Amino acid sequence: MMTDHDRRRAVASEYAQYACLDELLHLQWPRTQAPAEMSFIITTQVMELYFKLLKHEWTAACAKLEAGDIRGAVVDLRRGHGVQDALIASWEALRTLTPGEFDEFREAFGAASGIQSELYRDLEQALGVPYPSRGEDAPSLEASAARALERRGFDGWLAAYRAADQNPDLFDLGEALYDAAERFTRWKQRHLISVWHSMGEKKGSAGTSGAEWLARGVHQKYLPELWNVRSEAWA
């Protein structure tokens, strides 16, 4: 007969199977004995998983835009905003990493750097950054939204914003895209703050100047048209 304990184990095991916990929880391999390395590896993995989820939501949003379902695309983008908020909050797990603690394992990962993240580039591509050498695999929110606007007779965001009263769905779409772009930049700002905290102005592992290089990137505007309309009169 199945005892309560057996039942609980069976449930736990279904849970573990469903979430592939055996695989997931055996993917953390610190290269050193440094206590802080685990938080660095897990935060990196968590962020890559969230990048994957965000790409998933943005791919769904692009498909809806191509099908003319603007409201549906806005729902997907809002779900993406939640993922982006979680991404920004994930920096908190590294907030106490001191330069001394970081130096204990920095050499062990060699020239590895987040600059090599393919998913991060997919997301930038979705926000309209051209990477000609990477091909067209990633979804493009910028291109899909431009086509959606065009099909409704608008040649850009300013015209659509000025006609917001008759086209509230397009206005909501523009603002949801802007919110995604802004959150992407906020993740970069938070990254820079962590870099200042954990390695100051030292050079990056990929060979860039480090914080100085990242600080320049923080000024980059994704989906710039949606930032530029903010300098124009909408009425």
**Residues in contact with ligand HEM by the rule CB under 6 A:** 43-44, 47-48, 94, 97, 113-115, 117, 120, 191, 194-195, 198-199, 204-208, 210, 213-214, 217
Output the smallest distance, CB 33 to ligand HEM, in A: 19
How many helices and strands in the chain, by DSSP H and E?
Answer: 11, 0
- Shortest approach of ligand HEM to residue 118 CB, angstroms? 10
Taking the complex as a whole, the smallest distance from the CB of residue 211 to ligand HEM amounts, in Å, to 7
Angle between the 37-66 and 141-151 helix axes, to the nearest 10 degrees? 20
First to last CA, the chain: 74
Nearer to ligand HEM, 118 or 232 (CB): 118
Q: Cα 178 to the chain's mean position, in Å? A: 14
19 contacts 87 by C-beta, under 8 angstroms:
no
Nearest distance in Å: CB 135, ligand HEM: 19
Residue 109 or 227: which CB sits closer to ligand HEM? 109
Shorter beta-carbon distance to ligand HEM: residue 9 or 216: 216
Residue 222: CB minimum distance to ligand HEM, A = 11
- As measured in angstroms, the least distance from the Cβ of 87 to ligand HEM is 9
Q: Which is nearer to ligand HEM, 127 or 195 (CB)?
A: 195
DSSP strands (E only) in the chain: none
Distance CA 211, CA 213 (A): 5
- Residue (213 or 227) nearer to ligand HEM, CB: 213
Nearer to ligand HEM, 144 or 205 (CB): 205
29, 107, 162, 175, 178 from 230: Cα distances, Å = 47, 45, 12, 11, 11
Whole-angstrom distance, CA of residue 179 vs CA of residue 174:
9
Residues 6+ apart with CB under 8 A from 64: 70, 72, 73, 76
